[in-house]
């Protein structure tokens, strides 16, 4: 919860009372569950939340959408003012800029993400290409779920329990087809990419370049390996879990560096916000001064016109323009 309050002590009390009533917890027990930050700490926390530094998955961009929606809901309910509107607009703008500057969400951080990234990179585009997903354990299920939204022309699912593959295919639509597990050798020859993630002590597939058909890339996520490649120089690219882990290690290191750089930019944003907030008190004073100055100059000009009645229309117009040029109330 974020709140603008007149007094910190009073605001803290009413926030606690609201939460206690909302969750039906005695007010005296709410301190066990509530942590309240104030002023700079609260503003800094909002920046960290919106940019993904406070997320379970560090750098996750989805949280920004949630922050934006929360702000829009607050606007719709009339609970935002000048301070909140400026703060949240600054936070949203900053977070968008950081996600563009440090795109951590584009880094593969799990084995199935790394596998799909290798497939997409090697094929250039997934459109018009066919993929076979072998195995529907935790890794295979996550891989299938992500792959089904990427735009493959067709996806074949194979699982040692055929009924599980059929249920997954029924849930994912027309472009996904369940195939019986014993048809794996034939399926491999008619797809462009294969991803295996089967828990097996022995290889489930033996393949060489002579019988690989149109296969261009094979990603083996099995431990131990699911695939035995006969040829020392196969006609397709092959990635196993060890090679993918090297990529993941590099990505985690790169992500940590990006997040650290993002964190170092937040203090300046907090400072900028409080500079803006301090200027709020000056704005009415400046506005009154400008209004007063305009009144004085207008009175002087009117007095001058009375003292110089012989000025023709052209000369009066010139003096009026000079007056307007010397004072622009909107500057």
Please state the length of the chain.
331
CATH number of 111-235: 3.40.50.720
Residues 183 and 177: beta-carbon distance below 8 Å: no
Residues 161 and 220: beta-carbon distance below 8 Å: no
Is pLDDT above 80 for 196?
yes
Q: How confident is the model at residue 41 (pLDDT cuts 50, 70, 90)?
A: very high
pLDDT at position 318 is 61
Structure-block tokens of residue 165: 């593959």
pLDDT at position 250 is 86
Return the sign of the alpha-carbon dihedral for residues 88, 90, 96, 101: negative
Residues 134 and 160: beta-carbon distance below 8 Å: no
Parse the chain into domains and list their residue ranges.
37-106+255-280, 111-235
What's the whole-number mean pLDDT along residues 251-271?
94
Is pLDDT above 60 for 5?
yes
Is pLDDT above 70 for 331?
no
pLDDT at position 283 is 57
DSSP-H helix ranges across the chain: 8-22, 39-51, 62-76, 82-101, 111-123, 138-147, 162-172, 184-188, 241-280, 282-307, 313-326
Residues 132 and 180: beta-carbon distance below 8 Å: no
Of the listed ranges 26-40, 160-174, 298-312, the one predicted with least confidence:
298-312
**Per-residue pLDDT tens digits for 101-139:** 998 887 777 888 889 999 999 999 999 999 999 999 999
Question: Phi, psi (5° rounding) for residue 186?
Answer: -70, -40
Mean pLDDT of the chain: 87
Distances (CA, A) of 235 to 123, 186, 187, 198, 297: 14, 17, 17, 23, 86
Short-list 264, 261, 266, 258, CA closest to 105: 258
Is pLDDT above 80 for 204?
yes
């Amino acid at each position: 919860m974020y709140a603008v309050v007149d007094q910190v002590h009073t605001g803290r009390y009413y926030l606690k009372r609201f939460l206690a009533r909302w969750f039906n917890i005695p007010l005296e027990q709410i301190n066990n569950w509530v942590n309240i930050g104030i002023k700079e700490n609260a503003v800094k926390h909002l920046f960290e939340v919106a940019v993904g530094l406070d997320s379970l998955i560090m750098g996750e961009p989805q949280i920004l959408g949630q922050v934006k929606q929360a702000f829009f809901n607050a606007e719709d309910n009339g609970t935002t003012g000048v301070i909140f509107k400026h703060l949240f607009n600054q936070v949203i703008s900053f977070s968008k800029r950081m996600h563009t500057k440090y795109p951590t969400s584009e880094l593969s951080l799990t084995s199935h993400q790394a596998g799909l990234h290798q497939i997409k990179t090697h094929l250039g585009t997934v459109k018009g290409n066919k993929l076979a997903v072998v195995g529907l354990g935790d890794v295979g299920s996550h891989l299938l779920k992500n792959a089904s939204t990427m735009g493959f022309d067709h996806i074949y699912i194979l699982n040692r329990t055929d009924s599980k593959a059929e249920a997954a295919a029924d849930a994912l639509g027309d472009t996904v087809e369940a195939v019986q597990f014993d048809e794996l050798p034939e399926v491999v020859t008619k797809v462009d990419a294969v991803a295996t993630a089967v828990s097996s002590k022995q290889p489930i597939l033996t393949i060489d370049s002579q019988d690989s058909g149109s296969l261009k890339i094979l990603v083996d996520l099995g431990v131990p390996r699911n695939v035995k490649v006969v040829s020392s120089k196969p006609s397709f690219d092959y990635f196993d879990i060890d090679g993918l882990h090297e990529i993941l290690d590099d990505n985690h290191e790169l992500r940590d560096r990006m997040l650290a750089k993002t964190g170092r930019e937040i203090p300046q944003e907090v400072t900028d916000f409080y500079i803006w907030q301090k200027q709020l008190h000056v704005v009415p004073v400046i506005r009154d001064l400008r209004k007063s100055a305009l009144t004085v100059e207008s009175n002087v000009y009117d007095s001058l016109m009375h003292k110089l009645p012989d000025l023709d229309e052209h000369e009066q117009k010139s003096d009026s323009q000079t007056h307007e040029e010397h004072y622009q109330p909107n500057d």
